[in-house]
Structure 1
Amino acid sequence: MRAVTVRPNHPDSLEVGDVPEPDPGDDELLVDGLAVGVCGTDKEIVAGDYGWAPDGHDRLVIGHESLGRVRRAPRGSGFSAGDLVVGVVRRPDPEPCPACAHGEFDMCRNGDYTERGIKERDGYASQVWTVERDYAVKLDPGLDRVGVLMEPTTVVAKAWEQVERVGARAWFDPRRVLVTGAGPIGLLAALLGVERGLDVHVLDQVDSGPKPALVGDLGAKYHSDGIERAVEAVRPDVIIEATGASHIVFEAIAGTAAFGVVCLTGVSPKGRRITVDAGALNRELVLENDAVVGSVNANLRHYRQAADALARADRGWLERMITRRVPLDRAAEAFTAQDDDIKVVIALDTLDENA
């Protein structure tokens, strides 16, 4: 079978080549891959900046945003041939920390977790893959074109859960949310905000292309005139930060209404320095009872929340988020940005040019 592999920490090592088809264990599903999404983490791995191969191997099968169809499932597993599934990314460490031991492996405290397609476990960018039944999640069968959005949806499902848990430290009745960034994470965060009945605003730097229409068709309002004007106009109770841009992060932290919650989901690059009035920022956080929380990855609870959210969403809107489908044998093209890209996916079941 064919798979997309790299040599971690070696730039320009991406290959689409033949690898052995996996042999499922007694507790594993055998899955025909349909698609994998490409995100910033994948691009860092391909650039040689990140990633670890499995023990005893020098190459890593990439891909953590999975979608597949079950070919064979263990008896009594709750799965059947033909089911649409995704595979969970993270696995708890073998000698679990307290968080991992309680199923909160997204909050691992010792860093000894592994991750499919990222850290010491092959990923899902192959024509066939296996997954333990306890780390497979079934999707609504109508999501066969858009279910590859599941993993980024888990990230924002967790972010919203974190916001609501932090807010619940006292009376909490948010009305207005500002999402900074209209990439996949930002758009999906906006979707989940709309599903919660909130007044949703989305900020991005472009004023053309597909993003403004996608936001508008959610019933949300699109802003492109900068973070300062956006927070002044909205005075949000909640900000979901999805850019990782340093100046936007700090403006967001200072930009909520009193008793606001900011959830940071974007990862900022190192080495970029800005000047911040730390005293004023601290004063505002303290005197307004504001809270800032970082959020990354997801556990099984968030996967189930995400599956429900996607099942409720408009399928046509979700499909418009996927702006390019690249066939497997041209997978390298997925890692070169094009104008108006939002979510780019690799079609694992397509080997010709008709993705």
Structure 2
Amino acid sequence: MRALTVQPGTHGTARVDELPDPVAGDSELLVEGLALGVCGTDREIVAGDYGWSPPGRDRLILGHESLGRVRHAPAGSDFTDGDLVVGVVRRPDPVPCGACAHGEFDMCRNGRYTERGIKEVDGYAAELWTVELDYAVKLDERLVDVGMLMEPTTVVAKAWEQIDRIGARSWYEPRTVLVTGAGPIGLLAALLGTQRGLDVHVLDRVTDGPKADAVAALGATYHHEPVAAVAGKLQPDVVIEATGAGSVVFDAIANTGTYGITCLTGVSTPGRTISIDAGADNRQIVLENDVVVGSVNANLRHYRAAADALAHADLDWLRRLITRRVPLEHFDEALTARPDDIKVVLTLTGEAR
């Protein structure tokens, strides 16, 4: 089989290798890889800035935004040959910590978790891959050309769950949400907001193009003005922050409505400094019972919620998010970001159109 591999920690080592076909164990699925979503984490790994290879090896099979079709399922399992599936990214740590022991491996306390295509376990950028039955999730067949959006949808499914849990500490009836950043995470967060019947606003710095069009097609409102101006006017009940830009983060935090919840999903680049009025921010958070929470990764509960959200989404709208499809042999094109990109997809087989 062909697979996209990289030597983590070393720039310029990505290549397509011919590797032996994997053999599924008794409690695993053998899956034909259809397509793979590409994200910033993949680009960081290829740049040598992130990632860990499996123990005893130099190279890692890349990819965590999977989509595949079951080639062989064990008899008596909940899967059958031909099912459309994705593989879960994270695995609990071997100790396990209390969170991992309770299935909340997205909240691992000791950092000894592993992640497919990122940390110590091969990923899904291969023509064939295996996955444990307990870490495979079935998708509606309608999603065959957009199912690689599942993993980023799990991230926002978890974010919304965290927001709901925090809001439930008191009377909670949100009406307005501001999403900062119109990449895949931001747009999928907006999708889930519209599915909840909220007044959804999305902010990004571009003035027009596919991002603005996708927001409009969703029935949400698009903004490209400074976040302080937009949030200051809206006073949103919820902010989902998906840029990781420090100035955006703090301007959003400072301009929520009373009892506002800001959920941070964007990962900031260290070493960049900004000036803030920490006293004013602290005063507002305390006096208005505001909350700022970080959210990353997802567990099986979030995968199931994401599968349900995608199954109920408009397929034509989901297709808007995929702005480029690139065959595996031209992976370097997929890993090079372009200004109008939303989601770039590597196709692993002709079925992934």
Q: Which TM bucket (shorter chain)?
A: over 0.9
Q: Contact 2:7/2:13 (CA < 8 Å) preserved in 1?
A: yes
| Counterpart-to-counterpart distance in 1, 2:333 and 2:211 | 22
Amino acid at match of 1:222: Y
Is residue 2:131 matched to residue 1:131?
yes
Bigger drift between 298-307 and 11-20 goes to: 11-20
Equivalent residue, structure 1, for 2:47: 47
Runs of 4+ in structure 1 deviating by more than 3 angstroms, as ranges, are none
| Counterpart-to-counterpart distance in 1, 2:337 and 2:45 | 15
Matches within 5 A, 1:1-355: 1-350=1-350
Structure 1 residue 350 displacement after superposition: 4.5
Residue-by-residue CA offset, 1:262-316 (whole Å, 9 max, x unaligned): 0000000000000111001000000100001000000000000000000000001
| Counterpart-to-counterpart distance in 2, 1:282 and 1:66 | 41
Q: Contact 1:240/1:262 (CA < 8 Å) preserved in 2?
A: yes
Q: Contact 1:34/1:67 (CA < 8 Å) preserved in 2?
A: yes
Residue-by-residue CA offset, 1:43-102 (whole Å, 9 max, x unaligned): 100000000010111000000000000000011110001100000000001111000000
| Counterpart-to-counterpart distance in 2, 1:97 and 1:339 | 41
Q: Contact 2:34/2:68 (CA < 8 Å) preserved in 1?
A: yes
Helix, strand or coil for the counterpart of 2:207? coil
| Counterpart-to-counterpart distance in 2, 1:202 and 1:322 | 18
| Counterpart-to-counterpart distance in 1, 2:75 and 2:230 | 54
| Counterpart-to-counterpart distance in 1, 2:325 and 2:350 | 10
Amino acid at match of 2:199: D
Q: Gaps (5+ residues) in structure 2?
A: none
Residue-by-residue CA offset, 1:77-135 (whole Å, 9 max, x unaligned): 10001100000000001111000000000000000000000000000000000000000
Q: Contact 1:328/1:350 (CA < 8 Å) preserved in 2?
A: no
Structure 1 residue 338 displacement after superposition: 1.7
Q: Contact 1:35/1:346 (CA < 8 Å) preserved in 2?
A: yes
| Counterpart-to-counterpart distance in 1, 2:76 and 2:254 | 52
Amino acid at match of 1:49: D
| Counterpart-to-counterpart distance in 1, 2:154 and 2:121 | 20
Q: TM-score, normalised by structure 2?
A: 0.99
Question: In the comparison of the two structures, how many residue pairs are matched?
Answer: 353
Bigger drift between 101-110 and 210-219 goes to: 210-219
Amino acid at match of 1:149: L
Amino acid at match of 1:151: E
| Counterpart-to-counterpart distance in 2, 1:350 and 1:62 | 20
| Counterpart-to-counterpart distance in 1, 2:97 and 2:278 | 34
| Counterpart-to-counterpart distance in 2, 1:138 and 1:234 | 39
| Counterpart-to-counterpart distance in 2, 1:331 and 1:213 | 27
Q: Contact 1:30/1:130 (CA < 8 Å) preserved in 2?
A: yes
Bigger drift between 342-351 and 120-129 goes to: 342-351
Q: TM-score, normalised by structure 1?
A: 0.98
Q: Contact 1:206/1:224 (CA < 8 Å) preserved in 2?
A: yes
Structure 1 residue 254 displacement after superposition: 0.9
Helix, strand or coil for the counterpart of 1:8? coil
Helix, strand or coil for the counterpart of 1:192? helix
Q: Contact 2:202/2:223 (CA < 8 Å) preserved in 1?
A: yes
Amino acid at match of 1:219: G
Structure 1 residue 339 displacement after superposition: 2.9
Helix, strand or coil for the counterpart of 1:185? helix
Residue-by-residue CA offset, 1:308-353 (whole Å, 9 max, x unaligned): 00000000110110000000111111111123100001001149xx
Q: Contact 1:327/1:350 (CA < 8 Å) preserved in 2?
A: no
Helix, strand or coil for the counterpart of 1:306? helix
Helix, strand or coil for the counterpart of 1:154? helix
Q: Contact 2:232/2:256 (CA < 8 Å) preserved in 1?
A: no
Q: Gaps (5+ residues) in structure 1?
A: none
| Counterpart-to-counterpart distance in 2, 1:95 and 1:148 | 31
| Counterpart-to-counterpart distance in 2, 1:350 and 1:246 | 41
Helix, strand or coil for the counterpart of 2:216? helix
User: What is the percentage of aligned positions where both structures have the same residue?
Assistant: 68
RMSD: 1.1
| Counterpart-to-counterpart distance in 2, 1:78 and 1:104 | 22
| Counterpart-to-counterpart distance in 1, 2:350 and 2:71 | 17
